Structure formats: structure tokens, C-alpha cells
Structure 1
Amino acid sequence: MECMKMKIGFIGLGAMGRPMASNLLTAGYEVHAFDVVEAAVKEMEGKGAIGHPSAGEMAGHVDVIICSLPNAKIVEGTMCGKNGVFENCKEGTIIIDMSSVAPNTTKGMAKKAAEKGIHYIDAPVSGGVSGAAAGTLTIMVGADDETFDKVKPIFDVLGKNIYHVGEAGGGDAIKMVNNLLLGCNMAALAEALTLGVKCGLSVETMKQVISVSSGRSYALDAKLEKFIMAGQFTGGFAVDLQYKDLGLALEASRDEKVPLPMTAAAVQVYEMARAKGQGREDMSSIVKVWEDLTGAKIHGEADPQKGA
């Protein structure tokens, strides 16, 4: 079957799913849509999608199903629940889970799907809402070679950097490892900034020196000036989402018997931020936890000469 003739079902029209589904429509695909929020379906219908009252009802009308859902419990309920996707999709249907779940969750779902003649692959993403809108996401795909080749043109619409990293579960594994590093790096940056301020250093000085030294990280490049020094924590990558991703790493660590002491400590930092009501703020807002504990002034310390 020619890829452009594939009918695509999209489940989950939230902050990430909506722009991805829109890009598929723009590329010329026939897109069928479902979300528990009826207004989201109506919005996609206004753009040319075919709306459906349930995921199960939609499943029988399409060749490929993409889902972008909040967590593993919702994914499993959508796929395996009564009148769900697995009950209603055609044999040979390809299901692409772009949600962030633990690798073993995906492996279990793929096994159940295979028993029904369904191809189940994982393809979590990095790049945020802006990347989803621009079609420049990094997509990490766990799939067999044949299935990956069939859906690669779809990924090319949604992302710029497409990595086939192994069998089902591989995509979730590499994203989990990446986000473990991001979360721990951010927690370490917040601690380091606090210590520096308490030792008499300015945030601007630390930015200038660390940016060209061995302590440099993505967290410093992406979060220090734009969020912390600007004193604004809207948008970005939420504390709640980073907390969830670290939790997935701890879940995998139990399955694989791998101790993760630094990850476990970082989880508590994000838990403190959540307890303070910062769950929806950018992950860099964890600096406020350390400010409250130590009296250090970190956020909002932009260089006034730069007009920040």
C-alpha cells in the first residue's frame, strides 16, 4: 500500500497531538481523529479530519493508528479496554504509540497486539510543542525493520531527526535515558547555582564562565538565561512531565535491577517543587525550592545592561 493512501487515525489531540495531526492533514493524508475532549475533535474536523465518537469505533476505518496519550494506564485502557482499539482494528493495522511510557509497558502491549495480527511500535518524541508544530521533532522509533520502512514517510512529516533504535520498546528506552540525564542535569544546575550565589558569585558570572567550561550542559544552555535569569517559568517543559519521566526511569530500574541513586535523589527535588504548587511551571523553576531553603536569590537575576 502506498503510504500516502494510508488512512491514519490519531488518538489524543492535546498540546502535542493536535499539531502533529494538523501536519499530517497538511501533507495530504486522510486523518481520522478521536479525543475524550469533544471540542478538540471538532477543531480537527474544521481542518479537514474525520472525527469519531470513540477510539474503538475509529480503529476499523484506518490503516495506521497514532496515539499521543498522558500515561501507560490510559494507553492500555484505550488499546485493550472493552470496545477498544485492539478489538476493532483490522489485522495488519500498524499502531504507533508516541506517548512516553516505560519500555516494558510497550513490550507487553506489542506482545498482545501480535497475538491479534497487529503491529505495535513505539515512537516517543523530543522537541516540545514548538517542534510538533514545526514538524521538526526528534522521533525515536522502536520497531521491526519492515514496519519502520512502511511508516517512515509519516515520521518524515512529523519530525526532522528520525532514529530507528531497535525493536518495540527501544524508542521508550532511549527517550527515558535522555530525559533521565536532562532531569538530573537540571537538578544539579539548580544546586550549583545556589551554592555559587551563597559563595558570593553572581548568576551572570556563573553563566559566562560555565558556558565555556566543563560544567556546561543542555540544561544550562536552554534554561538559565531564558527561564531562570528572566524570572519567568511559563511554557517550556513542565515539572510534572519531568517528574513523570524520572519515575519511568525508576520503574525500569526495578525491572532491570539497575540502581539509580542520583535519579532517585532528583525525583525528590521535583517532588518538592510539585508540593510547592509548581507542577505546571517549567522544570527550571526548581531553583525556587533552593531559594526558599537557603535564602539565595537566583531567578530574575538577568543582566540589566542586556535589557533582559
Structure 2
Amino acid sequence: MKIGMIGLGAMGFPIARCLLKAGYDLYVFDVMKDKLDEISREGAHPCAGAGEVSACVSVAFCSLPNASIVESVLEEVFAQSGLSLDVWVDLSSISPESAKKFAKKAAGCGFAYMDCPVSGGVRAAADGTLTIMAGGAAETLEKVRPALEAIGKKIYHVGDVGSGSGMKMVNNFMLGCNMAAAAEALVLGSKIGLDLETMYEIVRNSSGRSFIIENKIPDFIQKRKFSGGFAVDLAYKDLGLAMETAKQFSMPVHMGSTALQMFETARAKGFGKEDITALLKITEELMDVEVR
């Protein structure tokens, strides 16, 4: 089967590699030429744009930073003549409303759209063990399931189009709040004299454990490495999506509001492109202590 991959960023690139390893004939596009060249050397077919990808494949994946970029890419696809596309699989984190809008436009052009955001981080993307939250028709999911199984360990059919994005929004709301709380807690622990290894070992075996504790401490905080990973800017965007959705229901979101301001502070400090663990540095500076 010929499959397309549009977007070769922190998640898209390892996902493309997994599709190649699974034996798919892969057509790719990204505005970053170095990434396009690198994956091409590994066997993918480079394309000049999303329209060209969609003219060559029956299933196209995309992993892009936000709904605005997804929409601009899809507009290029909609304008392409001679599409061979059956299904567009959107791995991006966008709002449920955006997913529904894209699905309606795609149907008018003769192909199905599914919102299938993923979770698990860069490590899971590289290992092909992502969790996938699929929104769309059950029969459409079955068409693309083999390809999804090449990149994910757990695939959940959440419901109709938009439900996958909604589930990812809920998940990343919790992730952002957990990161904000963990950053303050670790600095507090350091301030009273606890070392990072002790906090890590005990909390990951106690009731305070979370993805942040189990993964972000060893991969980023212990190494004092804040590059790569899940960018502050992206987490801020996802929290914003949740806040906007909550407004539609006149729902107060106290924890989300506080977390959003911490991420806003991190962006103001110039940490937007760094991993979400960079939130730690804000409170470290405030309290004149380094978590080690």
C-alpha cells in the first residue's frame, strides 16, 4: 500500500520511520528540507507538496503543529486534481470543531477524514508504541488499522469525527496541569533539602506518580536537557484549546487557568521551543535553587 506522511517534526519523523519499517511505500513532504532529505535516504519518496503526496497514495497521514497549518495543507489537497486518496488520517492535536470542519470538506472532495491524535511522546513514536485516539466511522478505521498498528500499540475508537481530538484535549489538559504541579513540587523538595533521585524513586512508587514523574525526570530533568520532547508552545496551544472549549459550556477551569499562566510565563522567558520540563526553570530561578 502507498501511504503518505505530511509533517516530519518531532513526532512525524519517527512515525514515518515506523511506516517504512513496516514495509509501506511511503511518500513524504515537509517544509524542512533536511528532514525530507534524511527520510528520503531511508527509502521514502520525497514530494514537492501535500497535493503531490495525496495524488500518489490511498492513505495520507499528517502530523502538524496546529489546525491553521492543517487547514492550509488540506486546502492544497482539495485543489489537487486526480486524487487517489481514500482516507486522510490527522495525527495532529486540534479542536473537535476543526476536525468536524475538515471532515465535511474532505467528504465533498471524495475522501474520508479521521482525527487520530496520538499520545506517548517521542520515545513511543520511535518505538511504534503510541496510544491512538481515533475519531471517525468504524469502517474507515478498519481500512487504516494495519497502518495505525505500525505506529501504535493501543488504538481506541472513541467515536465520530471530533471525538479523537476531544479525548486528546482532555489528556493534554491533564498533562499540562501535572507538569505545572510537578515543577513546583520538585523545586519545593529541593528547597527543603531533598535530592532529585530520592524524590524520583519514592514518588514513582507512590500515589504522586504520573507520566511526568516516570518519563520526564529520567529523560530530561535528571540530564538537565530541555531540548526536544514536547514543546512548551505546543502544550500551551493544547491547554488553550481546552480553555476555549470550556468557555463554550461556561465551565470554570481553575487548574487549567493556573497551568496556562505557567506555560505563558515559560514562553515569555524564551522557553517556547523547549520541552515542557522547562517550566521547572521558572520556579528554580524564583527560589534560587536547582533541582538535582
- What's the TM-score, normalizing by structure 2? 0.89
Does residue 1:293 correspond to 2:268, yes or no? no
Aligned residue pairs total 290
Q: Does 1:264 align with 2:257?
A: yes
Opposite residue 20 of structure 1, the aligned amino acid is I
Q: Structure 2 regions of 5+ residues with no counterpart?
A: none
1:10-49, aligned counterparts within 5 Å?
Answer: 10-49=5-44
Instruction: Tell me how far apart the structure 2 counterparts of residues 47 and 291 of structure 1 sit (CA, whole Å).
Output: 42
Q: How does 1:229-244 map to 2 (within 5 A)?
A: 229-244=222-237
- Distance in 1, matches of 2:189 and 2:34, equals 48
Q: Deviations over 1:70-101 (max 9, x none)?
A: 11111001112xxx112326376210011111
Q: Is this contact kept in 2: 1:228–1:298, CA < 8 A?
A: no
User: Which residue matches 1:304?
Assistant: none
TM-superposed CA distance for 1:268, in Å, is: 0.7
Once the 2 structures are TM-superposed, how far is the Cα of residue 45 of structure 1 from its aligned partner? 3.0
Q: 2:179 aligns with which of 186, 190, 198?
A: 186
Matches within 5 A, 1:152-301: 152-198=145-191, 200-204=192-196, 206-207=199-200, 209-295=202-288, 297-299=289-291, 301=292
Q: Does 1:85 align with 2:80?
A: no
- The equivalent residue for 2:53 is 58
Preserved contact between residue 66 and residue 94 of structure 2 (Cα < 8 Å): yes
Q: Could you tell me which of 109, 113, 118 is aligned with 1:116? A: 109
* 1:253-306 Cα shifts (integer Å, max 9, x gaps): 2334432221111111111112112223321221221122233x242x2xxxxx
Q: CA deviation at 1:195?
A: 3.7
Residues in 2 aligned to 1:87 and 1:284: alpha-carbon distance in whole angstroms = 41
Instruction: Note the aligned Cα RMSD (angstroms).
Output: 2.2
Percent identity, please. 49
What 5-or-longer segments of structure 1 have no aligned partner? 1-5, 302-308
Contact 1:197 1:203 in 2 (8 A): yes
Residues 65 and 96 in structure 1, CA contact (< 8 A), matched pair in contact too: yes
Shift in alpha-carbon separation, 1:115–1:40, aligned structure 2, 3 A:
same
Residues 193 and 298, structure 1, Cα contact 8 Å, conserved in 2: no
Q: Secondary structure at the match of 1:141?
A: strand
Alignment CA distance shift 1:58-1:169 (3 Å)? same
One-letter amino acid of the counterpart of residue 105, structure 2: K
Structure 1 CA distance for aligned equivalents of residues 122 and 141 of structure 2 = 24
Alignment TM-score, normalising by the size of structure 1: 0.85
Indicate conservation of the 8 Å contact 2:124/2:130, yes or no: yes
Asked which structure has the greater CA Rg, the reply is 1
How big is the shift at 1:209? Answer: 4.7
Closer, same or farther: CA 260–48 of 1 in aligned 2, 3 Å: same
Code of the aligned partner of 2:13: R
- 1:132-147 equivalences under 5 Å are 132-147=125-140
